[in-house]
Amino acid sequence: MSSPTLNALVYAMRHEADGIVSVEFRPAAPGVEFPPFEAGSHIDLHLPNGLVRSYSLCNPSSDRGRYVVGILNDRKSRGGSRYVHQQLRVGSTLPISTPRNNFKLQEEAPRSVLVSGGIGVTPIWCMLQRLVALGRPVELVYCARTRKEAAFIADIEALAADKGVAVTWHFDEERGAPPALAELLAGKGADSHFYCCGPTPMLDAFEKTCEQLGYANAHIERFAAVHVEAPAATTTFVVECERSGKTVEVPPGKSILDSLLDAGLSPDHSCKEGVCGACETAVIEFDGELDHRDGILTKIERESGRTMMICVSSCKGKRLVLDV
């Protein structure tokens, strides 16, 4: 079955920038409290049109009783963000997931450098507020195509002025070029922790830049799984389910998750796109190699072979043993 959900009320919707709205959720039933969350967390919205979409929380993690997400009306929307912008209204109720965190903030780092691209500012803004509240050294690099398409500018400027936070603004329209991350991140300290959320080209450039500059503590969050041309599986393999005792065949073109569901098992899942983390499953043993296609695990985590997102990832061998 899918992960447990909370019944949420759309308490407020606010225009934050061109094409971006924030949506504030509160418990739909009186006397109910939302679970606490950490900076970097996201929730899944189970929309009335049948889609499930993940959005990062952007309000302070010290808040109790509300979740706020920022949502871009994506030009390439497959129905999720478009529904929110065109049909979701204050007073509506819908199921949401409990918060999950695939983008954890290292609060004790000697220094944190936060880098956002466009709507990727949502978890970054949450992180910035948390680090400032803790009195930790932090700076922000905020990139967007235009100033009018950048959310939370006034709030960030107010916080920066009040607490003395260094903020670098880069708007492509004003600078006449995309951000040069090597210049923006140079000299920030090898022991600093670096965080980036934004579109795929920016994340790829961020990872490459951090590697070139010798920054080992680089963390990213992707909006979508990394695109890979090859099919998820070209031959049938067997999944042995350690806890349930079942053995399930996974044919070419079918996900491990769907194969397990069809076999009567009920692993947690939500987005089915490799970005929410709900279906992350411990790997016990495998032949060949794992074919990771999610947008969550780091290179080190993939190489360890200890876990995988069974909605999109696969196995190139004949046998895979999972903790299911």
pLDDT at 228 over 60: no
Single-letter code of the amino acid located at 184: L
User: What per-residue confidence (pLDDT) applies to 226?
Assistant: 58
User: Listing from the earlier edge strand, what are the strands of the sheet with 20-27?
Assistant: 52-56, 42-46, 93-97, 5-17, 20-27, 67-72
Sheet harboring 218-221: ordered strands across? 166-171, 138-144, 112-117, 193-197, 218-221
Q: Classify residue 204: in a domain, yes or no.
A: yes
Same structural domain for residues 206 and 300? no
> Is the pLDDT reported for residue 273 higher than 80?
yes
CATH number at residue 151: 3.40.50.80
Give tens-digit pLDDT for 65-101: 999 999 999 887 778 899 999 999 999 999 999 999 9
Structural domain count, the chain: 3
Q: Which token pair is 4? A: 């447990």
Q: What is the pLDDT of residues 11-55, one digit of tens each?
A: 999 999 999 999 999 999 999 999 999 999 999 999 999 888 899
198 and 245 together in one domain: no
Cα 119 to Cα 270: distance, rounded to the nearest angstrom: 22
The last residue of a domain, from among 162, 190, 221 = 221
Q: Decide if 67 contacts 34 (C-beta within 8 A).
A: yes
Domain for residue 102, yes or no?
no
Range of the domain at 11: 5-97
